[in-house]
Amino acid sequence: MSTARLQVNLDALAQNFHRLRQRGAQSLPADCVAVVVKANGYGLGMHTVARRLYQEGCRRFFVASATEGGQLRGLLPDVHIYVLAGAARQTLGDLVAQRLTPVLNTLQQCELWSTTPQAGPAALHIDTGMHRLGLSWEDDLSQLPALQLDLLMTHFARADEGRDTLRCLQTQRFADSVAALRDGHHDVLVSLNNSAAVLTDQVTPESLLDASDGPRLDRLGIGLYGVNPHTEREGATAKQALANVATLEGQVLQVRHVKAGATVGYGSTYCVRAPGRLVTIGAGYADGVPRLLSNQGHVFFRGRRLPMVGRISMDSLVVELTDETASACDIDEGDWVEIFGPNLPVEEVAQQAQTIAYEVFTGLGSRLQRLS
């Protein structure tokens, strides 16, 4: 039995899925929403997450690689699976055999897929200012080889910012690219919005896309898992709309009384200032607790935040209770404490660890007991 566990609330996951589909008084049809389950469902368990979202009506999924696509295909044989890495010679066999849809990012990928026997539909990624993956909006798209396209997509670079000055420009560039491709691909889906764009409070610039440019497909990622993707205070209302999905907990291994002057952990980086108790928790950086939380993070137990002291170890961390706190906090061996979750938001934990919630989630250890 593990001394660290991850609780995944699938009802909350479903709630977020339907919340993110909302458009005023109406909801987008399930076929106009895709979910991103790459990196093992953002660290929470791809199979568990995908199975529940399938039950909620989702039929379109994004993964990073053909390997992930094959794993998902084995679970859900009748869904549409997009592979963000696109097509490569070494993955062609898997893409075709598993009926995966590559998101083509380069002219070379387009040429490769167009000459692949039994190749199915593909998606085309237009880079409108991210400069990461995709054909540039400045490319002559009329030179593309013959392809059966079912999706045109782009990716906003700064939708997580309250004042995204690039978003309208990216949308206009994408609209121009869609127009250049429209004659040969009349029924293609178009996709701009990620979670941050869906949840933004600003007026959407999607009006720059004409209705004739095709039906929209929103791509739901981090927001689906209960995380506010916004980096500024403007995202506070978005957070209130999302339910907590993931809770990381560690079990109390030992409670010891210590005197003032006792030092804690490797390097003795913390010195106890007054008599109290040290509580050792069975969760460490091997379980995904960021080491940068050493001497600054907290755990939550029965209404109280207890400070982490000393360096976080591979398998454990230590929290301190002063005598005053201990009298009101009856903690003992076998108890479970929250490391992040409804009382300690993962966004706050990530900020303390000088990172983002995406990295905290995807860094969760494989030995964690995952419960849902």
Catalytic residues: 38, 266
Contact status, residue 123 vs residue 101, Cβ threshold 8 Å: yes
Contact status, residue 329 vs residue 304, Cβ threshold 8 Å: yes
Scanning the structure block, which residue is given the tokens 């755990």? 299
What the block records as the tokens of 160 is 């997580």
- Please name every residue paired with 218 in a beta bridge, in sequence order, or none if there are none: 33
Measured in whole angstroms, the distance separating CA 225 from the mean position of its chain's CA atoms is: 6
- C-alpha radius of gyration, the chain, whole number: 24
Distance CA 296, CA 129 (A): 37
What the block records as the tokens of 19 is 């919340």
Q: Which residues contact 42 (CB under 8 A, 6 or more apart)?
A: 36, 49, 221, 222, 225, 358, 361, 362
Q: Which residues contact 40 (CB under 8 A, 6 or more apart)?
A: 46, 362
- DSSP state letters, 13-73: HHHHHHHHHEETTEE--GGGEEEE-HHHHHTT-HHHHHHHHHHTT--EEEESSHHHHHHHH
Distance CA 122, CA 128 (A): 19
The strand pair at 317-322 and 276-281 is best described as antiparallel
